[in-house]
Amino acid sequence: MGSDLNSSVHIVLFPFMSKGHTIPMLQIARLLLLRRGITITIFTTHANSPFIRQSLSDTQPNVSVIELDFPTNIPELPPGIESTDQFPSMSLFIPFANATKLMQPDFEKALNNLSISGGVNCIISDGFLFWTQKSAEKFSIPRLVFYGMNNYVMTLCRILGRNRSHLKLGLDEPFTVPGFPSVKLTLNDFESPMNDSNPQGPHFEFIVETGIATSKSQGLVVNSFYELEPAFLDYWNREFVPKAWCVGPFGLVEKTKYDQAAEKSNPKPDWIKWLDQKSVEGRSVLYVAFGSQAEITKEQLREMAAGLERSEVSFLWVVRSKGSEGLEELEEKVKGRGLVVREWVDQVEILGHESVKGFMSHCGWNSALEGICTAVPILAWPMMAEQHLNARMVAEELGVGLRILGSNGSVRGFVGAEIVEKMVRELMEGEEGEKVSKKVKEVGEAARKAMEEGGSSWRTLDQLIDETCRNTDPTHLLP
C-alpha cells in the first residue's frame, strides 16, 4: 500500500470489556500501526481505560482513547463491575453483554464528533458488541468484527447451525461434520444452547443477535494464519459471509524499541528467577494456567494438585487467588520443584522461557496460539465456551498437543489425579509428548513466516486495509 492512502486512514477499535478480548484488540492496534500513517481511536469505559493506555503508552500520538460511561443500576449486575474479569460468576455474562447496548447513544455521539473532525474509515468492534453494527451503518462506516475465535470453530459451528441432525444423538456419541468427514465431535463439545434441540432464552437470543449483526458487517478479523487452517478458512469464505481475514497470530507483532528497553530496565519477577534456576538445574518445567475466568471446583482443584505432585515434574502453576486457598499444602510438599503464583503474569514471557517445555491449558484461543508461537506443546484441558473445540483442533487437527479426558472417558467431567499424573508425564517425558513437541516447533515456525513482511498474514492485512479503506469517504455525518 502507498503512504498516500495510509496517511488518511483512521480506524476505530472497540474491544469487549474482558482481558481475553481486549489484549488481542490492542495487538491489532500495533499491527495496524506498522503501516505508517494510520491513526487509531480506541473506545472503552473509564475503569478499563488505564490498562489500555498503559499497554499502548509508546504509541502516541497515533492512538487516542475515548472513555464512555458504563451503564449503572443494571439489576442483575453488582455495582462497579466494568469487566468480565471481575465477575463473581460467569452467569453474569449475558446481562453484562446486553447492558453494553446502553452505551450506544454515547458511542454514536463520539462517532459524530470524530466525523466532524476528520472522519472514520473503518470500525473494528468485538462481536459481542453487536449493536455497534447499527451505529456503523448509520454513519455508513464499514464495520469489521473480531470474535477471538479461529476459522475451525467458526466454520464448524456455522455448518452445524444449519445441519442439526446431530442434536438427536447422545451427549458423548461421536458424529462427523458435513463437509469435513475427518472431524469427529460430540454434543459435549458444545455449551448450551448450542447443543439444545430447541434452543431458547436470553443466551440463545444473544447468539442470534450477534450472528445477524456479523452477517451485516463487512468482514471478520481473525487471529490466525492461512497455513494453520486453510481448509476451514477456504470453506468459510466460499460458503458464508462476511469474508474472514486471517492476519495473525497477533501476539507476534514486533515489539517496539520502547517495549524492549522497558523490559530490560524492569527487575525480573520472582517466577522468572525461579524458571532461571530450573534452567540452571537442567529441569524442564510444565506451565499450568487456566485463564482468569475458569470456575474450577475445590474437589477438582485438589485432584489437579495431587496429580501434579505425583507426576514428579517441575511446574509453575498460575491460579486465580479466589478459590486457591487449598493449595498451601501442595506448595509445602513440592517446595523447590513446584511454584504456585497468584498474581498477574506475562504469559508469553513464561512460555518463551527456555526451561518451559509444556503448557497445561484451558485452550482459550489466545493461550493456544501463544503456546504454538513459542513452540510449547499443549496439554489441553478445556473448561468453557468454545474451548472444547479448540482442544479438538490442538490435539486432533494440528497435532501440537495432547488431550485430557474425564475419568468417565467423556470430554467433560471430573478428572482424577491419576489421569492428571499420567498425562503430565506423557507430555513431558513420553513418546507422544515428543511427537507433539516436534510438531509444534514446525507450526510455530510457520506462524512466524506468516507474520513476516511478505508472509500470508502480512499480505492479507494490506489487502484488508486496501479493500476496506480505499473507497471509503471518512467524513460521515448523521443525517
- Over residues 184-225, the pLDDT tens digits come to 999 999 998 888 888 899 999 999 999 999 999 999 999 999
The secondary structure of residue 106, as a DSSP letter, is: H
| pTM, 2 dp | 0.93
Residue 479's CB is within 10 A of a number of other CB atoms, namely: 3
Residue 290 inside a domain? The answer is yes
Q: All 3 cell numbers of residue 77?
A: 449486575
Residue 477 inside a domain? The answer is no
What's the rounded Cα separation, in Å, for the pair 103 and 106? 6
- Looking up residue 248, the CATH number of its domain turns out to be 3.40.50.2000
Domain extent for 234: 3-255+449-469
Confidence at 326, pLDDT banded by 50, 70, 90: confident
Regarding whether 71 and 31 lie in a shared domain, the answer is yes
Going 434 to 439 to 442 to 446, the CA torsion angle's sign is negative
3-state secondary structure 331-398: HHHCECCEEEECCCCCHHHHHCCCCEEEEEECCCHHHHHHHHHCCCCEEECCCCCCHHHHHHHHHHHC
Residue 475 inside a domain? The answer is no
- Position 2 scores a pLDDT of 37
Q: All 3 cell numbers of residue 1?
A: 500500500
Residues paired with 122 in a beta bridge: 11
Regarding whether 239 and 214 lie in a shared domain, the answer is yes
What's the rounded Cα separation, in Å, for the pair 477 and 332? 64
Residue 474 inside a domain? The answer is no
Regarding whether 440 and 453 lie in a shared domain, the answer is no
Regarding whether 130 and 49 lie in a shared domain, the answer is yes
Regarding whether 284 and 250 lie in a shared domain, the answer is no
Task: Please tell me the total count of domains within the chain.
Answer: 2
Regarding whether 272 and 141 lie in a shared domain, the answer is no
Regarding whether 190 and 115 lie in a shared domain, the answer is yes
**Lowest-confidence pick of 127-136, 367-376, 449-458, 466-475:** 466-475
Regarding whether 464 and 328 lie in a shared domain, the answer is no
Residue 479 inside a domain? The answer is no
Regarding whether 275 and 408 lie in a shared domain, the answer is yes
- Over residues 83-130, the pLDDT tens digits come to 998 898 889 999 999 999 999 999 999 999 998 888 899 999 999 999
Regarding whether 279 and 220 lie in a shared domain, the answer is no
Regarding whether 294 and 154 lie in a shared domain, the answer is no
Regarding whether 248 and 280 lie in a shared domain, the answer is no
What's the rounded Cα separation, in Å, for the pair 159 and 305? 39
- Position 41 scores a pLDDT of 97
Confidence at 238, pLDDT banded by 50, 70, 90: very high
Residue 476 inside a domain? The answer is no
| pLDDT over threshold 60, residue 1 | no
